Amino acid sequence: MKLNIYNTEAEVLTALADHFVTLATQAINKNGKFTVALSGGSSPKKLYELLASTTYADQVNWEKVFFFFGDERNVPQDHKDSNYLMAKKALFQPLMISPAQIFPVETSFGPAEAAAKYWEVISAFFDDGEVSFDLVLLGLGDNSHTASLFPYTPVLHDRTPGVKEVWLEDQQVWRITLNAPLINDAAQIAFLVYGAGKAEAVKHILEDDEDIELYPAQLIDSISGEVEWFLDEPAAAALENKE
């Protein structure tokens, strides 16, 4: 696990955009493609807008990039809360990404079926072999959730890779999420976390005793690759060890 701490939000976003370009270039040169699972949330949205900007748009062979989603809200793809819609506006449309390169969660089936079908879609793309994304991008909620791995949800106890539906009682909504074993099979995992509001959650995840029910993002630990955190100083402020 590697900590990257920067003075400002802008520096964090630039560092992760540069990291994305490096990983994409390496994967495309080696395998002819780059597979990435996108995160929802306002922090990742700014990264996507930066990647689609003139600064980065020409740095990646976007025709070789294949986009999946680390989680999705169980809403239509044109709903304001859809992670797909957010990525479509921030990244896919500006870069004119072909729909053939984008794998959204089909939420019209209802949560359980949507989750099962998404696992089928992902497995088929990886030729039903081991599913290993080149990169999984993750945000962090101030309650220590990541993707849609929320505190005290059954999906936290999964031991084999898969995609599951998650009921959020307090919000009265369904979500669909990659489970931790599937995320952890990725070659690279990158957390994008900035702002003082996340400092307590970052401390819980990186330095407090293990309690995955309370702090689900503690489950994230790449099996064979690397987990990198991209933080600004305010988000890292509660850490005792910043090396």
Ligand X SMILES: O=C(O)[C@H](O)[C@@H](O)[C@H](O)[C@H](O)COP(=O)(O)O
Among the residue ranges 2-10, 53-61, 96-104, 136-144, the one whose residues contact ligand X (CB under 6 A): 136-144
Q: Which span sits near ligand X by CB under 6 A: 26-34, 106-114, 141-149, 162-170?
A: 141-149
- Please provide the DSSP assignment of 136-199 as one string: EEE---TTS-BTTB-TT-GGGG--S--EEEEEETTTTEEEEEE-HHHHHTSSEEEEEE-SGGGH
Q: Are 44 and 52 in contact (CB under 8 A)?
A: no
Closest to ligand X by CB, 28 or 40: 40
**Residue of the chain from 37, 41, 82, 91 that contacts ligand X (CB under 6 A):** 41
111 forms part of the interface with ligand X (CB under 6 A) = no
* C-beta atoms surrounding 109 within 10 Å: 14
Using an 8 Å Cβ cutoff, are 147 and 138 in contact? yes
By the rule CB under 6 A, 83 interacts with ligand X: yes
Instruction: For residue 153, state whether it binds ligand X (rule: CB under 6 A).
Output: no
* 216 in Cβ contact with 149 (< 8 Å): yes
Query: Between 96 and 197, whose beta carbon lies closer to ligand X?
Result: 197
Region binding ligand X by CB under 6 A among candidate stretches 90-98, 114-122, 137-145, 182-190: 137-145
Can residue 146 be called a binding residue for ligand X (CB under 6 A)? Answer: yes
Does residue number 165 form part of the binding site for ligand X (CB under 6 A)? no
Q: How far apart are CA 105 and CA 11, in angstroms?
A: 31
